[in-house]
């Protein structure tokens, strides 16, 4: 229906330029539908079905009876579904397989509370494999220094001994020397051959959680690996581990299996649970998030990866990290990097490089003269790019040279192939902005099969510029054998991939940050005999916090799970973005966790974070923070206000027009002295006046409490600028890379795989028989589909509730046939392939609320979507779509 603002402006431009001949007329258009791949609808078929009662309120018999009743009713009503799993302690209900059309009837069975899509979960993305070969040396352990875990180990003697930490992931390499004799519980919920992305793949549980994929072993190393011979120490090197394997050796798992594993971790008495997995763009009410939050209320600290979807815009934090009590962990870049390197001669400077994949490794001792495109400089913006389809290099001009090329303007792959064709023996890329570039040279086009035969590496912008100045006088590079440690140019900054909050109910997420960029950890021995790799992701930041929670529980045994969260947030240190501004709170929460400060502080600040909501709803807003002092001496702080970067409506960080803040009626100015009496408490009465920009964006910052002894506590706050209800939900989707957009929602025909965008006038209405029919899919295979109407819906933002009504020929509603609560947003509004997650399906099987099938005739479907935090009594808080008329016959 509507698009995000930026795209709407583009759409307007298109309309304004549509004056000359050859442009399409604006809608309403008359025409035929567009086709989708046949496999798309079939992949949207797994759901959680939640039954009425909280499992904690029922006996096992009561729960079993309720679930048995559901099964009997579903069978009696002839619904075509398959049960995939059932749950008993954290969630009352099932995971099932059913078509979107059958789901409506399933959701209307007595006792059913709600349905949620089961999402596939990929193992944590490995964002950086550059350092595998160099990962043997122990001196890239700076992650422990960054959080003070090294001091907790060496000065406080903490190791996590006696604390039980559960890890839900791909298992653990049980033969790895870093974990000997410390696995006290574990289970494999799926078996090695399971892959949720393969139709028909069935979990085959077994008792041994031995890792055959690697990610779980990566995570466990950070939590508590200990291998003196290998020079490796994790955060809590003596913890007891519970290992819960939810992946096979390849492919994906799903949130249904994750929920099963969470129930098991609780039963095994885990005190801390790490979940480096998640479903992005969700709600705190998503089943895994709610279940994780309940675990915290029952006493378990849960640390979960915020997610790696930072480039996919705001509100991208995943479930279970979104759970109200769960610690959602963002990623900060490691301060030091161990890199391959080469020496320049003459001169002798040593320059660190990252290999660029896929290309052959730069062999030790490789010694080449350095060259470049004549005339290129460190300000050339299209260095090495083809011009009018032709290489800029003269054939043979780069024979035997290591070719220096500045990144930018065209795909790096094009630059490498041009240089290779001109005879280059290697390519050295340099960045066009500070830091190392995230660069790859793989083919993205099935028709582009040219092999890259020469080594390709990338260096920092300043190193490239230095090499550029030396080429004229003649300079050679020589690849050294030993990796060296370099300062990471982006060290201590928030990782760009780290997901952005807030939650859709505008609560501040993520909660804290931890080192997750370029982290050295354990890996499968069979994939790397050395046993160690360097990787990146929030999936490696979460286990830092899980390990730190174990250290805190060891140091202060009486702490509750809530206390652990409060201490970690209160004593975190906000970090910068790459541009040296304070990174948005929506990307780092309270900031980088600090173990010694959390252990040593006598003062707590509650609540530990402040969510100020939408400025149009509240205007100026007051909040009260209670400072409690458990020591026998008064504690004195200087309170100051520290604004962080804002996020615009699409998630770009901008310089803040900051909120203004007064405390106890006084403007802060250069600070306000606050005294917390010995053994007593003090209220901070804060009054925030929100900023007016960025419109539809998010603002945030910190109240900083600095003590005379040099300690610093922080309380982060966040808010939304303007009218939150103005964010549109039912947006459009592009099928051509963003050039044009189809007006969604759309009516879909499962037997022709065609959809009819909103507003498209149809010459003849689609006809649905409501019967199963056999059709041929795109591969010529015969498949059976239910010939019933479905809708394609793109969710531009999370939605509170979706209701689907059926209208008769006269436009009168025959009642609601499907309701869904807490709907996640779509990942993208640009569809590229069946994995895009650009829209969801909702269907109707032809029955009404009374179970009766409608008679033959003309009908329409009407969709009402209540927005996040929307008031059902306020009409503008709901968006509505009505489909084209169709025939049931």
Partner 1 sequence: MPPRPTSPLLLLALSAVLAGCAQPQLTPPCLTPSCPTPPVSGNETEPNDNAAAANALAIDRPLKGRIAGQPRDMDLFKFDAEAGARLKLTVISVGADPQSTLDPYVEVLLPDGFTVLEHDDDSGAELDSELRFNVVTAGTYFVAVTSFRIHDDERAADDRATNTYQLALARR
- Name the residues that contact partner 1, by CB under 8 A: 51-54, 56-57, 113-114, 290, 294, 297, 562, 606-607, 617-624, 626, 680-681, 683, 685, 687, 821, 871, 873
Q: Which is nearer to partner 1, 228 or 677 (CB)?
A: 677
186: part of which helix (H) or strand (E)?
A: strand 183-188
Least separation in angstroms between residue 687's CB and partner 1 is 7
Least separation in angstroms between residue 699's CB and partner 1 is 18
Least separation in angstroms between residue 671's CB and partner 1 is 22
Question: CA 826 to CA 252: how far, in whole Å?
Answer: 19
Q: Which is nearer to partner 1, 618 or 735 (CB)?
A: 618
How far, rounded to the nearest angstrom, does the alpha carbon of residue 60 sit from its chain's CA centroid?
35
880 contacts 759 by C-beta, under 8 angstroms: no
Q: Which is nearer to partner 1, 388 or 873 (CB)?
A: 873
* Measured CA distances, 700 to 102, 414, 648, 790 (Å): 44, 41, 12, 41
Tokens of 490: 């982006």
Least separation in angstroms between residue 44's CB and partner 1 is 24
Least separation in angstroms between residue 227's CB and partner 1 is 40
Closest by alpha carbon to 751, among 734, 771, 731?
Answer: 771
Least separation in angstroms between residue 702's CB and partner 1 is 20
Q: Which is nearer to partner 1, 51 or 456 (CB)?
A: 51
DSSP state of 118: P
Q: Which is nearer to partner 1, 89 or 790 (CB)?
A: 89
Q: Which is nearer to partner 1, 428 or 561 (CB)?
A: 561
Least separation in angstroms between residue 54's CB and partner 1 is 4
Q: Which is nearer to partner 1, 99 or 285 (CB)?
A: 285
Q: Which is nearer to partner 1, 559 or 744 (CB)?
A: 559
Least separation in angstroms between residue 317's CB and partner 1 is 20
* Measured CA distances, 115 to 740, 802, 804 (Å): 33, 11, 14
Least separation in angstroms between residue 682's CB and partner 1 is 9
Least separation in angstroms between residue 563's CB and partner 1 is 12
The runs of H, that is alpha helices, within 194-286 are 215-224, 255-267
End-to-end alpha carbon distance in the chain:
29
617 contacts 280 by C-beta, under 8 angstroms: no
Q: Which is nearer to partner 1, 110 or 389 (CB)?
A: 110
Q: Which is nearer to partner 1, 593 or 610 (CB)?
A: 610
Least separation in angstroms between residue 56's CB and partner 1 is 7
Q: How many CA atoms lie within 13 A of 796 on its CB side?
A: 24
Least separation in angstroms between residue 57's CB and partner 1 is 6
Q: Which is nearer to partner 1, 53 or 343 (CB)?
A: 53
Taking each continuous run of H as one helix and of E as one strand, the counts in the chain are 16, 50
Q: Which is nearer to partner 1, 560 or 808 (CB)?
A: 560
Least separation in angstroms between residue 185's CB and partner 1 is 27
Backbone angles phi, psi at 827, to 5 degrees: -70, -35
Closest by alpha carbon to 172, among 211, 133, 218?
Answer: 211
Question: CA 691 to CA 699: how far, in whole Å?
Answer: 8
Question: CA 191 to CA 202: how far, in whole Å?
Answer: 9
Q: Which is nearer to partner 1, 56 or 474 (CB)?
A: 56
Least separation in angstroms between residue 176's CB and partner 1 is 39
Question: If you search the block for the tokens 């539908």, which residue do you land on?
Answer: 33
Contacts of 679 (CB under 8 A, 6+ apart): 629, 630, 631, 632
Task: Give 830: exposed, middle or buried? Use CB within 10 Å, 0-12, 13-18, 19+.
Answer: middle
Q: Which is nearer to partner 1, 297 or 526 (CB)?
A: 297
How far, rounded to the nearest angstrom, does the alpha carbon of residue 465 sit from its chain's CA centroid?
35
Radius of gyration (C-alpha) of the chain in whole angstroms: 29
* Measured CA distances, 889 to 48, 329, 510, 846 (Å): 32, 53, 51, 10
Question: CA 86 to CA 93: how far, in whole Å?
Answer: 6
Q: Which is nearer to partner 1, 52 or 525 (CB)?
A: 52
Contacts of 155 (CB under 8 A, 6+ apart): 596
Q: Which is nearer to partner 1, 46 or 290 (CB)?
A: 290
358 contacts 455 by C-beta, under 8 angstroms: no
Q: Which is nearer to partner 1, 680 or 811 (CB)?
A: 680
171 contacts 164 by C-beta, under 8 angstroms: no
Backbone angles phi, psi at 224, to 5 degrees: -160, 35
Closest by alpha carbon to 858, among 804, 809, 819?
Answer: 809
428 contacts 405 by C-beta, under 8 angstroms: yes
Tokens of 71: 């099964």
688 contacts 719 by C-beta, under 8 angstroms: yes
Q: Which is nearer to partner 1, 52 or 439 (CB)?
A: 52
Least separation in angstroms between residue 818's CB and partner 1 is 16
Question: CA 589 to CA 327: how far, in whole Å?
Answer: 10
Report cis status (omega within 30 of 0) of the bond before 346.
Answer: yes
Question: CA 795 to CA 733: how far, in whole Å?
Answer: 10
- In sign, the C-alpha dihedral spanning 17, 21, 27, 31 is negative
Least separation in angstroms between residue 3's CB and partner 1 is 28
Least separation in angstroms between residue 113's CB and partner 1 is 4
Question: CA 594 to CA 841: how far, in whole Å?
Answer: 45
Least separation in angstroms between residue 712's CB and partner 1 is 24
867: part of which helix (H) or strand (E)?
A: strand 857-867
149 contacts 258 by C-beta, under 8 angstroms: no
Question: CA 60 to CA 89: how far, in whole Å?
Answer: 9
């Amino acid at each position: 229906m509507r698009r995000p603002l930026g795209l709407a402006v583009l759409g307007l431009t298109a309309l304004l330029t549509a004056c000359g001949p050859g442009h399409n007329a604006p809608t309403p258009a008359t025409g035929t539908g567009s086709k989708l791949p046949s496999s798309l609808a079939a992949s949207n078929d797994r759901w959680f079905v939640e039954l009425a009662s909280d499992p904690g309120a029922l006996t096992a018999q009561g729960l079993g009876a309720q679930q048995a009743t559901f099964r009997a009713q579903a069978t009696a009503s002839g619904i075509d579904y398959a049960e995939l799993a059932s749950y008993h302690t954290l969630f009352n209900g099932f995971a099932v397989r059913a078509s979107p059309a059958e789901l409506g009837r399933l959701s209307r069975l007595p006792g059913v509370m709600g349905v949620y899509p089961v999402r596939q979960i990929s193992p944590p993305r490995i964002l950086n494999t550059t350092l595998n070969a160099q990962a043997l040396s122990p001196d890239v352990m700076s992650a422990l220094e960054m959080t003070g875990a090294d001091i907790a180990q060496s000065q406080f003697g903490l190791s996590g001994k006696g604390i039980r930490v559960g890890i839900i992931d791909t298992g653990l390499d049980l033969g790895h020397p870093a974990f000997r004799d410390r696995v006290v519980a574990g289970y494999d919920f799926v078996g090695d051959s399971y892959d949720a992305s393969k139709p028909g793949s069935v979990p085959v549980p077994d008792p041994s959680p031995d890792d055959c994929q690697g990610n779980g072993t990566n995570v466990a190393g950070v939590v508590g690996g200990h291998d003196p011979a290998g020079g490796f120490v994790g955060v809590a090197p003596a913890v007891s581990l519970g290992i819960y394997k939810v992946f096979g050796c390849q492919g994906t798992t799903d949130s249904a299996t994750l929920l099963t594993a969470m129930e098991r971790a609780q039963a095994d008495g885990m005190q801390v649970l790490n979940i480096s997995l998640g479903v992005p763009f969700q709600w705190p009410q998503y089943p895994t998030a709610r279940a994780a939050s309940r675990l915290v209320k029952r006493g378990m600290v849960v640390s979960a990866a915020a997610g790696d979807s930072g480039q996919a815009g705001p509100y991208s934090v995943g479930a279970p990290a979104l759970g109200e009590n769960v610690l959602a962990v963002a990623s900060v870049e490691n301060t030091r990097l161990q890199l391959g390197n080469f020496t320049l001669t003459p001169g002798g400077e040593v320059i660190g490089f990252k290999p660029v994949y896929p290309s052959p490794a730069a062999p030790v001792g490789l010694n080449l003269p350095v060259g470049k495109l004549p005339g290129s400089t460190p300000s050339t913006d299209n260095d090495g790019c083809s011009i009018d389809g032709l290489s800029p290099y003269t054939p043979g001009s780069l024979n035997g040279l290591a070719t220096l090329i500045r990144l930018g303007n065209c795909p790096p792959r094009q630059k490498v192939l041009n240089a290779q064709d001109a005879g280059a023996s290697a390519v050295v890329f340099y960045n066009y902005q500070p830091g190392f570039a995230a660069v790859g040279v793989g083919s993205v086009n099935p028709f582009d099969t040219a092999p890259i035969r020469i080594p390709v590496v990338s260096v920092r912008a300043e190193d490239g510029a230095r090499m550029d100045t030396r080429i004229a006088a003649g300079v050679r590079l020589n690849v050294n054998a030993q990796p060296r440690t370099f300062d990471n140019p982006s060290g201590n900054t928030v990782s760009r991939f780290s997901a952005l909050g807030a939650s859709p109910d505008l609560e501040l997420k993520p909660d804290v940050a931890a080192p997750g960029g370029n982290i050295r950890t354990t890996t499968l021995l069979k994939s790397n005999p050395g046993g160690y790799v360097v990787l990146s992701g929030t999936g490696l930041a979460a286990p830092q916090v899980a390990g730190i929670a174990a250290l805190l529980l060891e140091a202060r045994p009486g702490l509750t799970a809530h206390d652990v969260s409060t201490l970690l947030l209160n004593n975190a240190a906000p970090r910068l973005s790459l541009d040296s501004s304070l990174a948005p709170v929506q990307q780092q929460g309270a900031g980088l966790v600090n173990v010694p400060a959390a252990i040593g502080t006598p003062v707590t600040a509650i609540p530990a974070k402040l969510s100020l909501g939408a400025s149009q709803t509240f205007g100026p807003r007051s909040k009260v923070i209670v400072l409690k002092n458990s020591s026998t001496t008064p504690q004195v702080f200087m309170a100051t206000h520290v604004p962080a970067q804002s996020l615009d409506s699409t998630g770009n960080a901008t310089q803040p027009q900051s909120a203004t803040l007064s405390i106890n009626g006084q403007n802060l100015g250069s600070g306000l002295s606050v005294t917390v009496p010995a053994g007593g408490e003090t209220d901070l009465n804060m009054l925030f006046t929100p900023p007016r920009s960025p419109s539809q964006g998010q603002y945030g910052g910190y109240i900083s409490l600095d003590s005379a002894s040099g300690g610093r506590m922080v309380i982060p706050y966040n808010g939304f600028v303007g009218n939150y209800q103005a964010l549109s939900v039912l947006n459009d989707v592009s099928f051509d890379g963003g050039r044009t957009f189809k007006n969604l929602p759309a009516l879909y025909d499962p037997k022709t795989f065609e959809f009819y965008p909103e507003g498209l006038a149809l010459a003849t209405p689609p006809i649905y028989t409501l019967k199963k029919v056999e059709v041929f899919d795109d591969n010529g295979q015969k498949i059976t589909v239910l010939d019933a109407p479905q809708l394609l819906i793109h969710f531009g933002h999370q939605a509170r509730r979706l209701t689907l009504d059926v209208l008769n020929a006269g436009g009168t509603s025959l009642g609601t046939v499907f309701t869904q609560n807490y709907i996640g947003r779509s990942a993208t509004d640009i569809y590229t392939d069946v994995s895009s997650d650009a829209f969801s399906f909702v269907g109707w099987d032809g029955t009404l609320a009374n179970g009766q099938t409608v008679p033959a005739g003309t009908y329409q479907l009407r969709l009402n979507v209540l927005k996040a935090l929307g008031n059902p009594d306020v009409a503008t808080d709901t968006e509505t779509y009505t489909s084209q008329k169709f025939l049931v016959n």
